[in-house]
Amino acid sequence: MDDSVGNNAVLILEDGSKFYGKGFGKTSTVVGEVVFNTGMVGYTESLTDPSYGGQLLSFTYPLIGNYGVPDYSNHDEFSLPAHFESSKIQTNGVIINELCESPSHWSSTRTFADWLKSEEITGICNIDTRSLTLKIRESGVMMGAIIYEQDPMTDYDSILSNVKSYETYEFFKNVSTKTPKTYGTHQDKVVILDFGVKNGILRNVLKRNYSAVVVPYNYDFNQIMSYDPKGIIISNGPGDPQSCNEYLDTINKICNSSIPTLGICLGHQLISLSLGASTYKLQYGHRGHNKSCKDLISGRSFVTSQNHGYAVDLNSLSNTELEPWFVNLDDNSLEGVTHNNDSCIAVQFHPEAHPGPYDTSYVFDLFFGMFTGDKS
């Protein structure tokens, strides 16, 4: 039987694999790196996470959209969108199994499909996401394209041959702030070097009674220090950490200063690179909010929220001033480091969650404890 019958779109991978389905959202062809997320909920937070820039995100959970989409104007006590990690969808496209068209939730104002259409994002449903996930797990992440209204004359090879590899793009430049932005009115400030910061990170600064000053990724050390920060956060963001090499000198100066510093996700990788460690690409990444990690200092294990396709090489720490802090219990990859100067820490996972568990929010407590004197 021809799988294309009754469908109007196709997902094609760079190895030539085709998955036929039904298009929704914006009716156009899009390309990106095909990755999967294992979370059961949290699709609004995931899709607005800037770290997904340039990717086609597949959800392994079989039904998406069942609680609808709330309005961006639904703010929390810090005037941040309560259910979104940025101001728009950041993925290039969305891949799901079943699309729920009759959502049920008191805060829902529109369907999942309507949301994608309003933001001009291409989606494809009726895809066997289990089969797609298995392929990615076995073969690794790869570039792909969602193509609408395909016909027998469609030249798939030509489309894919014009797709550049994910590593050639500098996605962080598209999601970083262009000018400094200050959140909160507190006198004491935490500066966030923005490679694609999530609202959840801002929230964790504001809730501890500090203002968050978000500055562009290319700010130098003196520009950052002009704000007289109590602490500095190197944020999460999309893409290959080695595409940020020209900014490592600034990050090295930050890490070797006496200013308390926290790196999150991409920030963890950049801190490690700046201090002499190396990074590599994971076969299929860690994306979901059910990833187990072990704190090597306390010996305790935690369930964490993660979204990364690269990791720091644990063995590369041997000639640096960094010590391993967390490891992933699934593949033993490095998930966190501490600096010997006791003023710099970094984690690969997301302690702010959104979506996911708050089990590791104590990472923020440790960071803020560096400049409040509370090391508990």
Of residues 83, 339, 350, 354, which has the active-site annotation? 350
For residue 138, the tally of other CB atoms under 10 A from its CB is: 9
For this structure, is 265 an active site residue?
Answer: yes
The CA distance from 109 to 18, in Å, is: 34
Q: Which of 286, 308, 352, 354 is catalytic?
A: 352
Asked whether the beta carbons of 192 and 212 are under 8 A apart, the reply is: yes
Residue type, 257: S
Choose the catalytic residue: 125, 265, 293, 344. Answer: 265
Q: Is 350 a catalytic residue?
A: yes
Q: Which residues make Cβ contacts (< 8 Å) with residue 129, sequence separation at least 6?
A: 36, 58, 59, 60, 62, 95, 96, 97
Neighbour tally for 299: CB within 10 Å: 7
201: left (phi over 0), alpha (psi -120 to 50) or beta: alpha
Distance CA 10, CA 102 (A): 24
- Is there a catalytic annotation at residue 33? no
Max Cα distance, the chain (Å): 68
Per the listing, tokens 């978000």 go with 214
What is the DSSP track for 322-373? EEEEEEETTT--EEEEEETTSSEEEESS-TT-SSS--TTTHHHHHHHHHHHS
User: Could you list the active site residues?
Assistant: 265, 350, 352
